[in-house]
Every structure is written in C-alpha cells, then in structure tokens.
Structure 1
Amino acid sequence: CIYFKFVFILILERISICMESENQTYMSEFLLLGISEKPEQQIPLFGIFLSMYLVTVFGNVLIMLAIGSDSHLHTPMYFFLSNLSMVDLYLVTTLVPKMLVNMLTHNNAISYAGCFAQMYFFLFFICLDNLLLTVMAYDRFVAICHPLHYVTIMSPRICSLLILISWTISILNSIIQILMMMRLSFCTEHEISHFFCDLNEVMKISCSDTLINTIVVYFATGLLGVLPLTGILFSYSQICSSILKVPSRGGKYKAFSTCGSHICVVSLFYGTGLGVYLSSATTHSSRNISIASVMYSVVTPMLNPFIYSLRNKDIKDALKRIISGTASS
C-alpha cells in the first residue's frame, strides 16, 4: 500500500509538471467509450461485469485464505500461486470498478491523472502476472526434473528473490512506459475507444509524434512477452522429456497432474493475449479490440481460481476446511 501511494504521488507530480510545460496542451479529462455506447445495454453489461468482479474477488481471496491457513500449503508452488491470486485481484480492481461507475452514472469521463494512474497499474500488474507464470513454470521444472535438489534450489530465500525480481522488472517497465506517455500532447481528440486507458488507444488520440513510444512498446512487448514465453516453453519441454522417462503410468500421471493447472492458466493467459494482438492487427475496429481485451484482463483472472481449485486436491481440501469451519462457527 505504501508503494502504491508513493508511485501514485510521483505520477501526479509528473503529470503536473507536464501540464505546466508551455508545449503541453492542457487536457483535464478523457472519455472512455466502453464496450457499448447503446444506453439499453448499459444495465445488462453492468450486471455481467459486477458479477464477474465479485466472483473474481471471492475466488482469489479464497485461494489466498486457503494457502495462508493451511501449513501443508506453505510450499514454493503455493507461495507463487497466492502471489498470482493477489496480482489478479489487483488487476481487475484497477479496471472494473471504474467501468462499473461509468455504466451506472452514464458518465464516461476519467481525469487525466486518473487515466495515467490506471494505465500505470494495469501495465504493472499485467507484466507481473506474466512474470509470475514464468516463475511458476520454473518451479515445476525444478520439482520434476531435479526433485532431489528441489528443497535446496527453491529455498525461501530464492523464492523471495524471484518475486522481488519480478516486481522490480514490472515497476521499471511501467515507469518507463508512463514517462514516455507523459511526453505526448493531447489536442482536441479526447475519446478513448476502450473500457479503460489502454496504452495503445491513448497513443492513437495524441497529436504528438508517437514513433519513439511505439518503438518502446514493441521492444518491451518483445522482451517481456517473448522471453518469458520462451522460458515457459523450454521448461515444459524439459518436463515432458522427464515425464516420458518415468516407467509407471501412475508416476507419469502424478507428475503431469502437478503441472495441469499451470498449463491451463498459461494457455488461457497467452491465448487471450494473442487474440487481442491478432484482433488489433487484423481489424481497425476498436470495439472488437475492447471485447477481446476483456478476455485476458477480466475473464482470465476470474477463471484462474477455479482452474486451480478444481484440478488441485490440496486446494480443494483446504477450501473445504475453511467452508466447514465458517459454517460451524
């Protein structure tokens, strides 16, 4: 919380400096056009997204409570899973509440500072989500390919260091992207064809030259998108090779079952992200891009708790104990 407050203050201070610059056109607010501009669709969409948000909050909080309350789950795999649930919770909270307020009040305005703050935290959490999935793949690689050295390699110190590195990279990426955006000027166009302040959509309405920004975005996407995915694919290639060497069918199933949930989450995350990329490359409709963005920014964090709880016996047992304990009390 202290970190978020500090970063938010820095963003506001930087925004004030940019606004006071003589070359910066003052833009007090933007308009988020959302998923649909039809008034009759606002109430149904409000109900759908409110339900999705509540399910996401409830599911991820339950996962964190289950892991925190059960000493048997205090292992590196579940430590990373609890961090992933926390990040997913923050990610949807960055986007959905503002969208719900806009739908309810029929006011699509978002302040300049609010837009850049939302942009910063979205970039931060989506990057951290990506890196955590990579760290979790590495954890499964060590557990299956080097089981005798697992405790030594994945010590609490190493696990904490991996989380710290993920946070540091995400923070640096977000700060660089936002600082690059703050150099842009915004003239008369202030309508963002999205349900949140997406980096690419905000760049589209700028009246400045965005070539450098585009280069930075593509470089960061390639570095923080392709490299982690390559690491995940390499880890699972080694995992598959090790599993195939297991003589018994039961041993193969047990080894693969520890990776099943993570494979589903990775496929969902990168599959929906690739869908957004292909939508932006093949269509000029910002509305279609907004709908595709819902999949990886809202639907994926909602489904992750169900994927892990339904496919993981330890999580299901811990959740049953929490529910039974709550019911008895």
Structure 2
Amino acid sequence: MIDRRTFNKAVSLSTGAAAVSLAAPQASSPASAAPRDGAGASGPSAAVGSAHPSFDRVRQVTAGLLDVGYAEAGPAHGPVVICLHGWPYDIHSFIDVAPLLAARGYRVIVPYLRGHGSTRFRSPRTLRNAQQSAVALDIIALMDALGIDRAVLAGFDWGSRTADIIAALWPERVKALVSVSGYLITDVEAQQEPLSPQAEHTWWYQYYFATERGRRAMEDGDKRAELCRLVWDTVSPTWDFDDATFARTAAAFENPDHADIVIHNYRWRLGLADGERRYDRYERRLATRPVITVPTITLDPERDPFTAPGNGSSYRDRFTGAYEHRTLTGIGHNLPQEAPVAFAQAVLDVDHF
C-alpha cells in the first residue's frame, strides 16, 4: 500500500498535471444512517509489511432491493466519495485509493455491486437483473439509506457506467465525477452494429456468456476463477499482481447471485435478455445518450485493450461541464488498483473544479 506520508510527493509525479492544494476539504453534513455493525470509521488494514491489506470491516445496510455490503474509510462527517468497481473485480480495486482519500478528510464509501461480495437481494423473488439503470438505482438507494445527498462518484468498468448514468439522470446527487474510459452509457440498439474484428476479439467473453456453456462456466467455481484470471491477465498486461491479490477479489465471486448477474448484464447489453418494465423510462432516456453536466475528469488507461483511440475525443461531446481528460501511460483496465495515486489525484482535482 502507498504510505500516506508520501502522498504529497507522489501525486506531484503521477499525471504531470498541476495538482490542487491538498489541504483537507471542509466537512459535510453527517449521514443519517448508521452501519448495522456499529459506529466508527473503517479502512484498509494489514500486518506491518503485508502486501495484501483488506478492509477491516464490511458493513451492511438495507437499500432498495438489496442488503448492500460496503467498506468505509475516513471521517464519518467528511465529504463523501463513492468508489464503484467493475467486473471481474470488487471493492479491493480501491484498497490503496481509500486511505489516500481518507487522509485528505474524505468519507470514502466502497460498495459491493449486486451479485458481488456480501451484497444480497432482499427477496428471492426479485429478478436477478443487471441492466444498467437497475445497478445505478442501487447506488441511489444506497445514498438514500446512508443519508448522503451528494457525493463525488468515481469508478471504472461497470462502475464508470453506473456513475455516468447517475450523473446524467440525477446530476443533483453528483458533486463531481471521475470516469475511467469516459462515457460508457449503453445504447442497446447501437450495440447491434458490429465492430472491427480486432475489437470484437477483445470482447470474447461477452459472446461466451451469451451461450449456456458460458453460463455453466460461471457457475463452476474453478472455471470461473480461471476465466476471471484470464481476463485480468488480458486487460492489464503490465500489472504484476500475484495469486493472493487475485484470490482476495475472487472471494467476492462466491456470491450466490454472481453468475446470474454477470450473465444477465452482458446478455442484456447485447440485446439477448430482457430488462424489467420498471426501468423502461430510464432506459429510454439513456438511449438518447444524455450529456453529463457535472464537473468531470475522464481517465484512459493506455494499455487497456478497451480504450478507444483518439485520446478521449470519441466521447468528449458527452461532457458539457468543467472537464479534463488524462491518459495514463502503461496502465491497464483496473486503473484504480494499478495506479491508485493517479486515481486519487483525479478525485481531489475534480472536487476543486
């Protein structure tokens, strides 16, 4: 983990951009909901010298359709940053980001998305739906449950898409946005158009999940681990992670709804699975590719095979507020875990736009 005492020095070297003042921000109003396991902040902890810290407590809160598991770091009354992971990842993508932001006075919330970790559906009758608006509404429900009116949202992969949607549809809830890979809101109809063969090859697992062979692989613990490890190796070619680092995250895939959620997400995005009518009004708005007006920094990981060419130009017109784009050379898909200082710096900077 990055030593907090070296943060001021490290951030000045991370992106080449001018850093904002790193004085602690002003505290916001306290949250109204207490975690079920008692009061007090939690954050990453490990034995001295350990290379594999973990969040020392996962809290649970009833939020909408879910019982959401989340980690928290920093002062309880600090301004809020919500960090959102993707697939095949979990809250540990932010294990080094959280203490950096907490040291600056932020209250950092890192939830497990539906189908991951300790997050559970409250009813066995609820459709295991992972369409984009459903996941976004999970985070709105979490904010309501914790009494959070506004927050900085920061994410990658599914987390970027979720944060983008909230910023587009509920901008009053978003103080600022950090979005890895830019504008990721899905237009299912547009998804029917083929990409270049090389780009299609990169998305191989989406097509695998469209088959029952893919579903069965996700339901088999050993095959699921092999598949997810292959995705990590492929999309983060310069990240030298070890077995224990992968295993720490792979534990989140033991969630009983994980296979259903992952399979539905990718099938829905390809137009191969239905959503729910309760979300139709949101999906109609998202299909228009709504602009995002809140202050935003977009981050492109240069070694991520999904990074679009053009240094952010392909989505620049979707961000109409204060904006900056940064490309991180030599970094792959799991940007917060591969480059935690640069990610934390983006959060600090965008909060001062």
TM over 0.5: no
Bigger Rg over Cα: 1
Shorter-chain TM-score tier: under 0.3
Greater relative contact order structure (CA < 8 Å, 6+ sep): 1
Bigger fraction of residues in helix: 1
TM-score (norm 1): 0.26
TM-score (norm 2): 0.25
